[in-house]
A and B are shown apart, each in its own frame.
Chain A
Amino acid sequence: MGLNIIVCAKQVPDPEGPPSSFEVNEAERKVTPRGIPPVINPFDENALEAAIRIKESVGAEITLLSVGKGLSKAVTLKAVATGADASLLVEGDAVEAALFDPYATAELLAAAIRKTDRYDLILCGRQAADTNAGLVGLGLAQLLGIPAITLAQKVEISGDRVVVERALPDGYEVVEAPLPALVTVSGAVGDLRYPSLQAIKAAKDFPQTTLGLADLDADLSGLGRVETVALAAPSRERRCTLVEGDTPEEAGKKLALLLRQEKVV
């Protein structure tokens, strides 16, 4: 048997949905998705893809770990059909309140992982598409006392070490850590592959372990270090001055003149 890899995945409203599908409730300080399906956070999908590639190269058992309430079957199904071997879910009302708090989420994930205590590598997306904070992965590593490498664009195993290409603004650097370790994954790793129909069928009877808050030894005292005091819809729409011309070339020229006239350039 190869490595044990845990991929942490969060369910989020599809971030590719149009802006109108994110209803901003200013009074309750929350965003309600309208007419868009829940999906696995895209960066977590990248993390799963990285895990599957490791499984293909050196052999691994992949456990999908998620914290949430009412997780969509379709969401876990996709993960399992693409290559996850087991799934572990931490569920409950109290858990949902913690979901938007990175300190509490990291604590819940750490508590669930301590319970299994069988891992060599933990992969997380670099940030979630809802909170966009990018805290949980590093927090989880800290709580478990293992080394962490962020912003991976490539993750490979070499013996008992993980070798990561860490994205930099102008390129990347190579960073290594001994296992067990945690790596946060960026979109540059590549998209999660599509599952085959056969794999989707097979994934349907997939066993899923569910834990509640009572099963975990989690300390949620860090909850509420940061609170949201106001929420607003962004004002993104602008009034566009469309420049026309008899030919596209003329329109291009007139655009340049207008930008100069209005001192944009």
Chain B
Amino acid sequence: MNCPFGSIKDQVDAVDEVMKKLDDPNITVVATIAPAVRVALGEEFGMEPGSLVTEKMYGALKKAGFKIMDVNFAADNTIMEEGMELVEKIKHYVLGVPTTHHLGALPQFTSCCSAWVRYIELNHPDLLDHLSTAKSPQGMAGPVVKTYGATEVWHTEPEKIYVVGVYPCTAKKLEASRPEFHSAAKYWKEHGHSADYPDTDVVLTTRDLARLLKKKGIDLQTVEPATEKDNPLAEYTGAGTIFGATGGVMEAALRTAYFVVTGEEMADLSYKPVRGLEFVKYADVLMKVKGTDKEITLKVAVVHGTKNVEALLPDIKAGTSPYHFIEVMNCPAGCVNGGGQPINPMGTSWLGKTKAIFPWS
């Protein structure tokens, strides 16, 4: 994100609230950290853009008093839900297998980007049936922490857990406040609890987290790194981590969907046609259906920058769209360039640019 004059700022600031919670010994404060944060947080501490600081970030968060859940785990979880939903739809609509599960329509849109979800709710409500019912990774991370995390990992009451989402995104702040995202509380109400609370309590952007760490006097450059090897909620695969780049959700979904449909691994897991900064990317994936001699061609499209999706919508509304799965990310280049990321002086900010050329100005 870059305003030429550097004047646009986000208004919801939870840093002080999180600091207060960290000081409270009765509360387990869990930070859930999104994929794109680990390649940008370093910039706030004087590192090169793109420096991968996962372990230093874990170390800094631990030092600040957070417990850690990696949203990459929730991204893997999203692939299982969203990918299986896609596979079920393909089986039903393309291969004619009967289903008892309620299924939406094809093509299926990804629902990971909260800005995109809000856009479609506001502007194209007739297409909501195409949106995957799977929540975004943030929507999954909260309930996982407050159910599985509470009982199996941190052994505490779900009411005593305070989930702080760390995202490269300002739209996640709004998403966390959605009244329907109280699934963990609803789950526990069926198991004898009575309190009501949101799945993710507050959201910090990458910039907010950097400010919090600086207030705590923690420098990412010098902090002791931590690996979190024994924390099940910090385990993640390569498929989860690429969610932060455009085409990443598609690539991750294809890796798993290909395996489920064909019963074999993809020959090359790096699926290049969905990578790159082309605003709309298309790809055809040939799959041989396991146990039959049928072949299907999965047609996918990847869009970043929401305005670019408009060109695909008339076909979908007319029911003639050839695609099965469409990824949409609101920010150009995906979450790595999200609205909550460090504002980089290499960007289009004119004032920032002069700073980059004349550091003393």
A and B are interacting partners: no
